[in-house]
Amino acid sequence: AGNETSTNAIAGGVVLLIQNPNEQAKLKANPELINSAVEEILRLETPTSGMWRRATQDTEIDGVAIPEGSFLMVRFAAGNRDESIFPCGGDMRVDRDNAGNHLAFGQGTHFCLGAQLARTELQVALTALLKRTDNWALVEGKNSLKHHPNVLLRGLMDLHIAFDKVS
C-alpha cells in the first residue's frame, strides 16, 4: 500500500516545481521549506483524489437532500483548492502557511495510516533531487502530462525530465 500514491505525488511534485521555477528556486535557496513544499504538493497533486463514503444519517449539503445510506464520492482534490481555505488555491506556494490543512490523506477515522511515511518519502526524494540536480526541464515532445483514467487515484502516465548534475 502507498507505493503508487507516493510515486505519483513525487512525479507530480517534480512537474509542479518545473512549471513553477520561482518556487523551485525559493525551495533550493531555503531547504527548511521542504516540509511546507511537501504539504503544498500533496494539496495540489492529491494522489488519492477522492473516496467513497456512506451517509450515516439524513443530511443536506447546499440545499441537496442526502438520505441516510446514500453513497457519496468525497473529492479531496476539489476541497484542496477551495479558495475560502486556500487563497489562490490553484497556485503553488512552497511557503504557504496553511498548506498542511489539505485533505490528501482523508480525515477523521478514515485518515491514512501511511501519511507520515508518505510525507517522509516525499521529503527525502525532493531533498535529494534538489541537492543533486539542477536545471530541471520536461523533455520536449516526450511528455503528454496526461493522467491515468482513474476516478480514485491521480498519477501521470509518463514523465521524462532532463537535468544537470550538481558538481
- Annotation says 6 is catalytic: yes
The catalytically annotated residue of 6, 11, 23, 77 is 6
- Annotation says 4 is catalytic: yes
Hey, which residues does 47 pair with through a beta bridge?
none
**Grid coordinates belonging to 43:** 494539496
The catalytically annotated residue of 84, 112, 137, 140 is 112
- Annotation says 121 is catalytic: yes
The catalytically annotated residue of 23, 39, 40, 121 is 121
The catalytically annotated residue of 1, 32, 83, 167 is 1
Written in H, E and C, the secondary structure of the chain is: CCHHHHHHHHHHHHHHHHHCHHHHHHHHHCHHHHHHHHHHHHHHHCCECCEEEECCCCEEECCEEECCCCEEEECHHHHCCCCCCCCCCCCCCCCCCCHHHCCCCCCHHHCCCCHHHHHHHHHHHHHHHHHHEEEEEECCCCCCCCECCCCCECCECCCCEEEEECC
- Annotation says 88 is catalytic: no
Residues with a known catalytic role: 1, 4, 6, 112, 121
